[in-house]
Copies of this chain bind each other. A is one copy, B any other.
């Protein structure tokens, strides 16, 4: 595809970010065969520069076209190297859309594989693809255009909305409700039993997990993640929230709309979040923590108390990131700080001795 055609198609996208390009260099119009990372882009490919330290790649990349941020020196540099470019407010967003023009994800053809085991009480919408060895149990209701990869198991009375995609070997437990346009990645377990045991003198008494789990529309759940259902009530992931691999969401959590939880995040029972919350990798949140709208937590943060809307937290126990950055820098100098304290203590004692000597002299003088 010609670069100019690609640009026309991208501009046809209704997303506002693509409309306000600062222009491009019209005399260059290479044929493009794909998209590539800027540091390893073969000739004939499109790449992008988000800015920052990546900008140095403009002088070395072998990409034939670049999506650039709105920064004139980058444009001049690209033109000088014979690289076609377009300059936009959100290069990464436009690049995401460009990839989709070159690449069609694998999607199995509609139809139900003969080895799938489907309970006669289950209903499956039009145009569904159900893979080999899938098991769909009693009372399950699946929407139109749903895609279920091989070896998925769906327990009884699950409901799944239109166009939702279940990758291989994931497991959807009883009574789970999954919305439309969701993606559940390989090996994820949704609606599994919450970890509920009451200690008694005769050992742990199991709390039956009679609740259910809800994933609203456009939710993604990463590989081998687990989202538990509660003893009573529900666990809910609101629309457009994305979970990475190996995430644990305990019983009775509520994750608000448009959040993103990076890999290996773990939320204990009853954690609630507002909208647009972003949690870095390996973040943990304690029982019943509330995390306000648009709050963020850096990788490995431990949230033991409520987090205000918009706060950016780091560390364990987590504190505002500015405090954490200062404190962690000092932490690494604690041995020097301890040394300074010893020196100050010695100095104090020395001054004390000098003062006593002076007092002695003063007494002598006063005695005169």
Where the two chains meet, the residues of A that have a C-beta atom closer than 8 Å to any C-beta of B are 15-17, 34-37, 40, 47, 90, 92-93, 95-97, 99-100, 102-103, 105-106, 113, 115, 117, 131-133, 135, 149-151, 153, 155-156, 167-169, 171, 173-174, 183, 185-187, 189, 192-193, 195-198, 200-210, 218, 220, 222-226, 228, 230-233, 240, 242, 244-246, 248, 250, 252, 258, 260, 262-264, 266, 268, 281-282, 284, 286, 299-300, 302, 304, 315-317, 319, 323-324, 326-328, 330-335, 337-338, 340-341, 344-345, 347-348, 351-352, 354-355, 358-359, 361-362, 365-366
Instruction: Kindly state the separation between the CA atoms of A14 and B222 in the bound complex, as whole angstroms.
Output: 43
Give the residue of B151, B245, B332 whose beta carbon is less than 8 angstroms from that of A228: B245
Q: With contacts A105-B208, A362-B361 known, is A245 near B192, CB below 8 A?
A: yes
Most chain-B CB neighbours within 10 Å: which of A15, A169, A201? A169
A-B contact pairs, 12 of them (CB 8 A): A16-B200, A34-B232, A96-B207, A115-B117, A135-B168, A149-B155, A167-B192, A171-B186, A186-B226, A204-B260, A224-B246, A337-B337
Instruction: Kindly state the separation between the CA atoms of A100 and B207 in the bound complex, as whole angstroms.
Output: 8
Output the nearest chain B residue to A257 by Cβ-Cβ distance: B203
Number of this chain's copies in the complex: 3
Give the residue of B153, B197, B218, B340 whose beta carbon is less than 8 angstroms from that of A150: B153
Output the nearest chain B residue to A343 by Cβ-Cβ distance: B345
- Find out whether the CB atom of B323 lies under 8 angstroms from the CB atom of A327: no
Output the nearest chain B residue to A106 by Cβ-Cβ distance: B174
Q: A15-B202, A105-B209 are in contact. List 18 more A-B contacts (CB 8 A).
A: A37-B232, A100-B208, A131-B135, A133-B135, A153-B186, A171-B223, A183-B193, A195-B242, A195-B263, A204-B240, A248-B281, A268-B281, A300-B316, A326-B335, A327-B332, A331-B331, A358-B358, A365-B365
